[in-house]
């Protein structure tokens, strides 16, 4: 059904735009090229819009989000107004004095509003994705590691004090394990 509508619209367009062969021979080759370019452009626009126009608008809107639906509606309105603007030009009417000019300006304002809303939504999404620092968790982590470091220093001090109190069997046993591992690395031996 949709395909039949697209083909029938294309055939109507071709019938309207085609001039009799005798008239076409009178036109300059430059004008003929311009008419052919307009025909190809219109058929490209029509083929581009055909899949969208073949569907029920409510069905299309149901599958889109609110922002995407707004973008679609504004784009379709701009496409229709632009085509009418081109039609006026082809008929020899000055569109700058025609109300279509005001309509195009109004639609452009909606484009700006939709873009601003899209930018705001993207900014909100980006702010959600940014890493947030949980202050309470950071305090707990710092507090935990500060206590762990203090406890480690305290154990070293106690180990050194207890080593001085007992008789020194060898200087290697009295030294803290970290220093012993570093000395073995320096000497070329890997720590156990």
Residue 1 belongs to a domain: no
Residue 118 belongs to a domain: yes
Count up the domains in the chain and report the number: 1
Per-residue pLDDT tens digits for 85-113 = 988 888 888 888 889 899 999 999 999 99
Residue 59 belongs to a domain: yes
Cα pseudo-dihedral 71, 75, 81, 86, rounded to 10:
160
Residue 14 has pLDDT above 60, yes or no: no
Question: What is the residue-averaged pLDDT of the chain?
Answer: 76
Top pLDDT among 140 and 186 is at: 140
User: Which domain range does residue 59 map to?
Assistant: 34-131
Residue 151 has pLDDT above 70, yes or no: yes
How many beta carbons lie within 10 A of that of residue 42, not counting itself? 16
Residue 98 belongs to a domain: yes
Residue 18 belongs to a domain: no
Q: How would residue 1 be classed by pLDDT, with cut points 50, 70 and 90?
A: very low
Smallest CA-to-CA distance from 90 within 179, 11, 17 is with: 17
Model-level pTM greater than 0.85? no
**pLDDT confidence of residue 32:** 81
**pLDDT confidence of residue 107:** 92
Long-range contacts made by residues 171-179, C-beta under 8 angstroms, separation at least 24? Answer: none
**pLDDT confidence of residue 3:** 44
Q: Where would I find the H helices in the chain?
A: 2-17, 21-26, 29-54, 57-62, 66-90, 99-129, 135-165, 171-174, 177-187
Residue 47 belongs to a domain: yes
Residue 4 belongs to a domain: no
Residue 5 belongs to a domain: no
Residue 129 has pLDDT above 50, yes or no: yes
- Return the residue matching tokens 């809107």: 61
How many beta carbons lie within 10 A of that of residue 73, not counting itself? 15
């Amino acid at each position: 059904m949709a395909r039949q509508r697209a083909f029938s619209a294309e055939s109507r367009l071709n019938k309207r735009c085609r001039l009799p062969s005798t008239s076409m021979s009178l036109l300059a080759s430059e004008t003929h090229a311009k008419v052919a370019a307009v025909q190809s452009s219109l058929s490209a626009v029509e083929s581009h819009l055909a899949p969208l126009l073949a569907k029920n608008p409510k069905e299309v809107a149901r599958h889109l989000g609110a922002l995407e639906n707004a973008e679609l509606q504004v784009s379709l309105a701009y496409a229709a107004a632009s085509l009418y603007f081109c039609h006026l030009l082809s008929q020899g009417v000055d569109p700058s004095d025609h109300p279509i000019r005001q309509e195009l300006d109004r639609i452009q304002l909606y484009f700006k509003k939709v873009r601003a809303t899209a930018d705001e939504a993207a900014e909100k999404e980006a702010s959600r994705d940014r890493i947030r620092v949980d202050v309470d968790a950071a305090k707990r982590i710092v507090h935990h590691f500060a206590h762990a470091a203090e406890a480690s220093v305290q154990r070293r001090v106690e180990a050194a004090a207890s080593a001085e109190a007992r008789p020194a069997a060898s200087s290697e046993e009295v030294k803290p394990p970290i220093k012993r591992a570093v000395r073995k690395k320096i000497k070329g031996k890997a720590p156990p």
